[in-house]
A and B are shown apart, each in its own frame.
Chain A
Amino acid sequence: MSIKYLFLLSRQGKIRLAKWYDTISQKEKGKITRELSTLILSRRAKMCNVLEYKDMKIVYRRYASLFFIVGIESGDNELLALEIIHRFVEQMDKMYGNVCELDIIFGFDKAYHILDELLLDGYIQESSKKEVLRRVGQQDELENMDELDQILA
């Protein structure tokens, strides 16, 4: 019951962020992203957010110019996967303050960081928004401290 992969796709078909929780060969990854990009970009706005793809289910959601795409096992709960996406977006929104595609492009480290605190190895690690943000905030602080140390040294 784990998430197999998650990636962010821009409307132009560029991958903005990708996380693979399964051991998949590079070639296969390329194939999956290509196929899903064409499939999902061609879907209309009012269509259902769940796709059956191979033996999996793909849950996706569009936020402004970005598609958030999640691959889950076919027996898993689709709506919750959809809400994980939403939770992720909420958290990024809080972190960056009105998140947009450019934030993710330039601050990709932070986006990965939030994702890592939310999901670990494809399993939900923490569903509380506050807890995740607290962790990420802490890490940022640590980083600032490091920089301060460096300047002082």
Chain B
Amino acid sequence: MKGLNQFIVDIRNSKDIEEEKKRINLELNNIQSKFNSNINSYQKKKYVCKLIYIYLSGYADSVDFGLKESFQLVCSSSHSEKQLGYLALSVLINNDKSTQSTRDFLDSLLDQVHSYLIKDLQSSNEDTNCLAVQFIASNFNLPESTTVRVNEADESAPKWLELIDIVYSFVTSPIHKSVIKKKAAIALYSLLKLYPQVLISNNNWIPRLLSLADDKDYGVSIASIPLIQFVVKSKPQFVKAIIPAISLKLYNIIIENKCPEEYYYYKSPAPWLVVKLLQLIEYFFFLSDTNDYAVLSIADLDEQTLNNLRSVVAQSIQNASQPIKGLPNRNSQSSTLFQAVSLAVFLDASSDAINGAINALMMLLTSNETNTRYLALDALIKLTARSTSNNLSASPSIDEKYTKIFKLLYDRDISVRRKSLDLLYTITNASSYSMVITKLLDYFPLCDFTLKPELAIKIAVLAEKFATDSTWYVTTMLKLLSISGGVNSNGTNYIGNEVWERIVQIIVNNEDLQKKTSKLIINLLKKPFSSTDNTPIALSENLIKVAAFVLGEYGDQVTYMSELSTKLQFHLLYDAYFKVSLTTRAMLLTTFLKFFVKYPDEDFIPEIMDLFEIEELSLDLEIQTRAHEYLTLATHKYSQQLFKEVLKPMPIFVKKESHLMDRIGSVSHIVGVNRSKSLVLAKNISSNKSKAARGIDSSPILDENSDGSNPFEEESKPVVLSPNWYSGYHRMLHYDAGIFYEDQLIKITYRVIKEGCALTLKLTIINNSAKTAGTDITGLTVLNLESLTDDHDPNYVLNLKQLPESTFHDKANMEISVKIRNVVENHESPILSITFMCGGSFNTLNLKFPVLLLKTLTSTALNGLDEFNRRWAQIGELLGPQGESSQAVNLTHRYNSSNIVRLLSRLGFAVVHATSDETDNTILVMGAGILHTQKTNYGVLATLKSTDQVGKEFEVAIRCSGGGVAEVVAITMKEILEGKF
């Protein structure tokens, strides 16, 4: 477009801002008049382009028209006009956002563009679809923190729903190209953030969305990560379903080097995807459910998954420890390293692994690249702050490491200097504190002005936290104060008031320190620390402040020594008086009044009086007031009683928290800073490793909606079981091996292994489609293993021992172990949810399998029928109706005695009595067994008696040594016999 080029050249050639403005105003008028006249679509395009350029050049306020033309462009059939139309819309509509609330803005935006978007989304042209999806993704996005939500009741809800449905279909449809899937995944994320309810009411969406992480196309994987993160955040129970797939993907990329050529970045395979996936897993560890329990712990991961993740972390660390050529290569390897190290702590890695990580990072500290040094420090801070045992300070050759870090305090770049200071702060412990503090004090005079306040506070906090010797503490702190004299260019002190105030608090609260400090402070005032090399140092105001207070309050405790006499104390302070700032002078005036009261006979009293008189004329209101009041007090010789009231000793400070912590700065939110609770010289600092300290807000996203409209708290709908689930369930009730489920695509066979109260369920998943269609099963995921038992005191515990492979041709194995803890009610059987892809179709199976009390039955050999009858009567006596339950059973076909005997022995009963098949009399079969649970074992006696002549009606009577258990068993027996539920 020539006109546009000319316009840009014109603007670039303008000599000054005035000329530029003139040119732009001219053009704006021109465009406006052109828009009012009749112009063709090319011209429209050109002028809209110019408008966008003007907007971008910083004249956003002047561009307040052109929307109509943009909409016309959007409707155009030509792709480039449509594209420009959308671009212009997003620029121009965004423009007047500031005047209205986000909600109003979104609604009006939706009103204006909805019909255009729907039209383009439904178009058969994929490029047109893309434009619309892209518009949605970039214009309906809200920062995660906003509380704007669409609710079902809203007027606009149907419109949103329409958009969401179409975008969702783009994401999941197998026929769309990956190019549109990628965009749609991000667009769907934007929309669902706005309208999370949709996700809740469409439970069946979740497995499909989760399977995106494992998409063959890496682009789709990487683009769907934010969406997956959002889904798992809303439905944390799915976290266990998705981790195996992610860890396998990582394993394949990092260890197996399976990565498509075009996703290599220089020599690293798909670094973006790897880092994002690592971040995602780390994020999962931070998630917590509504009860604030962490959703994921390593105990929840199966062996294979955990091993995959550990080897990925180990390999990433190893990769980065080797010399790598080329900057982009090094950067991408290091970025993977930092992400892996950050995850390592959660994987409960061995101390060897952590040490390996530390060594790799330490090596990077000497790198020539500033970035690497900076980020390695950052990673070390995270690593030490998160791991429970302070690995870094406990690791071998620690001195060498400290030396390395200290060296970085003198780095060229201030960012690195600051980070190394943060790291030192984090790793300092009870064994290294004095060395670190000494070094930091040496560093103080050389340190940058901007870093000094932080340094001072860190020294103060460390000293307070670890000090065991009070003299050492006071000496260190006074030294800090005396060398931190001087002011920066703004006239403020290097170190904040908090530091000296804290020292004073500690001295007031500890009597044994008072005398000691007085001595030390006098000596310091006489001979400042760094006067060794005879360079005059700036007088430290902070030191004078402490001195003013301490000598005024406790100076009398040391006057028995001649070199610390009152006279000397006074002169030291008096000499400093005119060299310090007004606030310090005010403090000194008070000190002098204290001296006046305490030592009325000393010969410096007139000097004090003179000072009060002079200062009565001070221009500063505070000083003038003090001087006047003190002078009046002093000249009128009031009674000692009054002075005592005026100069009451300082009361003990009660506030437990140190103000220093408010100023600790950048480390506090990365690091689980240990807040010292004890007032002084804390020896035991308990490490406070709370979630919050890890720096991630793990609260559920809708916390802010306290009006009960929180959709995530609603009971989720019960899982709908797959058709034909019952035959497998019923088979498993009495057979220990067989077919659990079968359809055209898949067959699942099972075997149950009993061992006391523990059951092992071995499932083999067989691909039925291999024979018929020759396709593989891919993306097989165990989505959920939902146990319906009580969460807090479960009657049984499920554990997924072995996960099936996600992709296979003929069969895959999985294993579930069950531990029966208590009497399991009949309705508590768990549901296994599996999803898989087969030839492009996405399938979900929800199958219930029996975890029943009766499954843990083993036979017991009773000594014949007599013993049986004796026990039977015994239970009847002991428990009465509690111990017995009987059920009438109607069978569909005839049973004879030996059928019943086989059935009972299959279930695990020992048959003690059975009538013969030959007789026409009533069939009577009796059996005994033991039920195992983790808590206790029960004896079970069963009697089956036919109540008709043909063997189709029976009465099942159960007696059991546990109250109420008989009923549970009887109902199970009835279900086994009748085959109905």
Contacts and interface: CB of A to CB of B under 8 A. Distances in A.
Given A23-B102, A25-B98, A124 B413 contact: no
Contact of A142 (B60, B80, B270, B413): B80
Contacts of B56: 15, 17-18, 108
A135 interface: yes
A87 interface: yes
Contacts of A65: none
B328 A77 contact: no
B143 A142 contact: no
* Secondary structure dominating the interface of B: helix
B24 to A, nearest CB: 15
A125 B371 contact: no
Contacts, number: 166
Contact of A139 (B60, B78, B83, B142): B83
Nearest to A113: B83
A138 B190 CA distance: 26
Contacts of A82: 331, 371
Contacts of B81: 146
Which of A105, A109, A147: most chain B CB closer than 10 A?
A109
A78 B371 contact: yes
B416 interface: yes
B463 to A, nearest CB: 26
B179 interface: yes
B222 interface: yes
Interface in A138-153: 138-139, 142-143, 145-147, 149-150
A105 B272 contact: no
A1 to B, nearest CB: 6
A20 B270 CA distance: 26
B66 interface: no
Nearest to B142: A23
Contacts of A97: none
A143 to B, nearest CB: 4
B825 to A, nearest CB: 44
Contact of A86 (B8, B49, B328): B328
Interface residues of B, number: 71
Contacts of A56: none
B219 A50 contact: no
A38 B138 CA distance: 29
A103 interface: no
Nearest to B411: A48
B275 interface: yes
Nearest to A144: B80
A99 B226 CA distance: 32
Contact of B223 (A75, A116, A124, A146): A124
Contacts of A149: 78
Contacts of B5: 106
A126 B272 CA distance: 9
A51 B370 CA distance: 12
Contact of B226 (A2, A46, A78, A143): A2
Nearest to B136: A121
A123 interface: yes
Given A22-B143, A80-B335, A142-B127, A120 B695 contact: no
B182 to A, nearest CB: 5
Contacts of A145: 79
Nearest to A24: B143
Contacts of A54: none
B335 A79 contact: yes
B143 A83 contact: no
A31 B603 CA distance: 62
Interface string A70-85: 0000011111101110
Contacts of A86: 328, 331
Nearest to B105: A23
Contacts of A51: 415
A5 interface: no
A75 to B, nearest CB: 7
Contacts of A25: 97-98
Nearest to B12: A105
Nearest to A33: B58
A138 B79 CA distance: 11
Nearest to B224: A123
Contacts of A124: 222-223, 272, 276
A85 to B, nearest CB: 11
A123 B222 CA distance: 9
A46 B412 contact: yes
B366 to A, nearest CB: 15
B275 A77 contact: yes
28 contacts: A1-B226, A2-B226, A21-B141, A23-B102, A26-B95, A47-B370, A48-B413, A50-B374, A50-B415, A52-B415, A79-B331, A79-B334, A79-B335, A86-B331, A121-B186, A121-B189, A121-B190, A122-B141, A123-B186, A123-B225, A124-B222, A124-B223, A124-B276, A125-B182, A125-B186, A125-B223, A127-B218, A127-B219
Given A84-B272, A106-B5, 13 more contacts: A1-B279, A26-B98, A49-B371, A77-B279, A79-B335, A83-B332, A108-B56, A121-B137, A123-B223, A127-B273, A129-B262, A139-B83, A142-B79
**Closest 3 pairs between A and B when the two form their complex, measured CB to CB:** A79-B335, A48-B370, A143-B80
